[in-house]
C-alpha cells in the first residue's frame, strides 16, 4: 500500500535517509513542499512500468506538446551540439 506524505524541504534534508528507506521498504510517497508549493515528489521506482508499442500512438497524443517555435529552437540547439561534438579537438596523451 502506497502512503502519501507532505513534508517541507528542510524536513527532507534532515531525514533523507529515513525517507528513502520508507519509500523503498514501505512504498511510501513524499511530496516536498517549499513555502506553500509542492516542488517535488519522491516515489517508489516501478521497475515494471513500460509502454507497449501498441500504446505509443495514444501516449504521444496525450503527451505535452512544444509551443510554437520551441521545436525549431530545440532542433537548432541539437544541431549545434552535434556540430560541436564532431569538431572538438581530441588530444592523445
pLDDT of residue 25 exceeding 70, the answer is yes
Q: How many CA atoms lie within 13 A of 8 on its CB side?
A: 5
pLDDT of residue 65 exceeding 60, the answer is yes
**In terms of Cα–Cα distance, which of 6, 63, 16 is closest to 40?**
6
With respect to residue 92, please indicate whether it lies within any of the assigned structural domains. no
| 37 and 62, same domain (yes or no) | no
The cell numbers describing 80, all together, are 549545434
Q: Please tell me the distance from the alpha carbon of residue 26 to that of residue 73, in angstroms, as a whole number.
A: 43
| pLDDT tens, position by position, 34-49 | 999 999 999 998 766 6
pLDDT at 46: 77
pTM of the model: 0.49
Domain residues for 76?
53-87
Range 17-26 average pLDDT: 94
CATH number at residue 23: 3.40.1620
Instruction: Tell me the average pLDDT of the chain.
Output: 87
Q: How many CA atoms lie within 13 A of 37 on its CB side?
A: 2
- Does residue 66 or residue 6 have the better pLDDT? 6
Range 52-56 average pLDDT: 87
With respect to residue 22, please indicate whether it lies within any of the assigned structural domains. yes
Amino acid at each position: 500500500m502506497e502512503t502519501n506524505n507532505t513534508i517541507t524541504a528542510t524536513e527532507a534534508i534532515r531525514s533523507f535517509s529515513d525517507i528513502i528507506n520508507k519509500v523503498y521498504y514501505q512504498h511510501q510517497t513524499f511530496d516536498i513542499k517549499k513555502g506553500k508549493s509542492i516542488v517535488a515528489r519522491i516515489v517508489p521506482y516501478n521497475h515494471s512500468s513500460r509502454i507497449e508499442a501498441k500504446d505509443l500512438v495514444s501516449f504521444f497524443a496525450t503527451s505535452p506538446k512544444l509551443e510554437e517555435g520551441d521545436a525549431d529552437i530545440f532542433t537548432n540547439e541539437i544541431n549545434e551540439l552535434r556540430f560541436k561534438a564532431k569538431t572538438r579537438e581530441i588530444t592523445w596523451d
